[in-house]
Chains A and B, each alone.
Chain A
Amino acid sequence: MITAGLRLESHKARAMQRPLQIAGLPASAVVPLDQGGGTTASPAVRPGMRVRIGTAIARPGDSRSATVHSPVAGIVRDIGVRDIPTPSGQALCIVIENDGTDEWDIPHAPTPWALVSPARLIDGIREAGIVGLGGAAFPTSIKLRAAREQSVEHLVLNGAECEPWISCDDALMRERAGDVVLGAQVMMHACGARRATIAVEDDKPEAIAALQTALSAASDDRIALLALPALYPAGAERQLLSAVTGREVPYDELPPAIGLVCQNVGTAAAVAAWVRTGQPCISRIVTITGSGVNQPANLEARIGTPLSALVAECGGYCGQPRRLIAGGSMTGQALTSDALPLTKAMNCVLVATGADLAPRGREMPCIRCGDCATACPAGLLPQQLHRGVLSDDAELFERHGLADCIECGCCDFVCPSQIPLTSRFREARAQARARREEMQRAADARQRFEQRERRLAARAEVERRAFDEARRRARGDGPPSGGPDAI
């Protein structure tokens, strides 16, 4: 059961006033090769080459990445490091100039998924470039393979979409509920799960009705639909799994350890689209919303489209936009420019005016009221973590579980002293990680140094023996007799 969390003003209705729209093709697409978890696919094209829609332009560099496909037809103009709207800030990108022919690569064929072995299906999902569309962009094939290896039995589809402003999953479930159900069936076959639950927050009655219709059409009694109370952050993976199954994922384990695997509904729909048509993942649904946009809407847009083009598609800016945010108002990331490209991880672009931004007062000292501990959905004690972070006491904040913070922003939101807790925690985690890496490097250096010392000592010993031997021979002595030296 969810024990903590917040009821927030959802602001979702604005973008849901208009149906899902297909965005126009960009004049030029900037496709990031960065994948969740810090791995990068390696480019398979060179500047000047012509590609078509769906051409594989980058291959998985290692087992932790997926294929990347061209979202437009045209000429590869550049391969280089560009700014992208993810926490890392920059990544290797392939820039493709659209020639407007809109020509697809080799005709794609549907996959008879029920007849394909799960291993082949997982490879196909990787080849189709399908990654977690909930926001992490972690390759789906890796999650499915881990789930298969640990023989999970329950697949949970995350349609909670708890964060204010974001409504892309809501739009998807209303309009493509059939794909969500088909995706669930395909993924159950791939990972070996025996049942599935589609979890949706109860403030999305239209989505729930559409899913019910799709479920009765599919008549698959292995798949259940569950309405969750709308309580932020119900859609965070660990919180969702405990709300759905009543079991908690151990802090140092991943969901497959207790027989669960969690996927976003958008990912399920992408898998379904791939098995139905054979087309790889080259687009996603993104919410363009906020008081700074004329006509907020959900758009299905090609990956690599500049955000400015998406805002223009929604009637352009209005009022006085103060901030451009990738994601929702709780965990979103402020962007520096609207020229940044759409990525597979981006579920929402929030153009906030002064009216949308809560005024933030001056930070006051912690009064240890404990409101943050009541709100924390991860069951942590943010006030103690904060004390550890302020005094730079790694031992204290690690003992209090900083690593388990999901950075949902609940503690920040309720803090009467307006302490920016989440950003402090995020910074402290990055520093702790850097320090650990530094320690590891020092340990490696010490090992190399000690091995070198041993090697040099051994060599010196050999040389000394050889010298002694030569000296004895020169003097005509026999082998050492054990008696005192003659000198």
Chain B
Amino acid sequence: MNAATVLPAIGVAATLATTLGAALGWAATRLRPNEHRLVESINALLPQTQCGQCGFPGCRPYAEAVARGEADIDRCPPGGDITVRALAGLLGREPKPLDPRFGTVPSPAVAVIDEERCIGCALCLPACPVDAIVGAPRFMHTVLEARCTGCALCLPPCPVDCIALHPKP
């Protein structure tokens, strides 16, 4: 084997590597999957409780983290196994059980305000991420049952602990 046969082979290999590398590099920057659309599709599969149990401040931030590959798909307890499976299907991954560190699957619940004890402080109104509590300062508050997602975010701000989660009828 002499240099006359080896050198053209090396040359061809080097040219191929350079052109293909350049093409791939260009494709990686210009033809990137539409991340915004991916976030939208992931967000559409999440239960929209905005409860924050995944460690992110709502469903969309979690969807963004999943799209960027920063968070795994097993962090949404309200969605349960169905959501994990749907996410796995969307992202082409293996389904896995829910990570127990982020909580367990809750039974469907709605928040109920004990109207005897409610003092009309209105502190729970800004806490509700889906505007499901109706009320005004020094007026009786109530929860719109059909709109409540059972996220429990209204429980901590209540100064008289008059909100409780009841099982969904």
> Which A residues are within 8 Å of any B CB, using their own CB?
435, 438, 441-446, 448-449, 451-452
Contacts and interface: CB of A to CB of B under 8 A. Distances in A.
A451 B82 CA distance: 27
B47 A442 contact: yes
Contacts of B47: 438, 442, 445
Interface of B: 43-44, 46-50, 58-59, 82, 129-132, 147, 149
Given A435-B82, A442-B48, A446-B48, A452 B43 contact: no
Contact of B147 (A438, A445, A446): A445
Given A435-B82, A442-B47, A443-B44, A449 B129 contact: yes
17 contacts: A442-B46, A442-B47, A442-B48, A443-B44, A444-B147, A445-B47, A445-B48, A445-B49, A445-B50, A446-B44, A448-B130, A448-B131, A448-B147, A449-B48, A449-B58, A449-B129, A449-B130
A452 B48 contact: no
The B interface is mostly helix, strand or loop, or mixed, namely loop
A381 to B, nearest CB: 23
Contacts of A443: 44, 48
Nearest to B50: A449
Contacts of B48: 442-443, 445-446, 449
The A interface is mostly helix, strand or loop, or mixed, namely helix
A220 to B, nearest CB: 51
Nearest to B144: A448
Contacts of B132: 448
Contacts of B82: 435
A445 B149 contact: yes
Nearest to B126: A456
A446 B43 contact: yes
A343 to B, nearest CB: 24
A398 to B, nearest CB: 14
Contacts of B130: 445, 448-449, 452
Contacts of B147: 444-445, 448
Contacts of B58: 449
Nearest to B85: A392
B131 to A, nearest CB: 5
A452 B59 contact: no
A438 B150 CA distance: 13
A449 B47 CA distance: 12
A12 B51 CA distance: 59
A444 B148 CA distance: 11
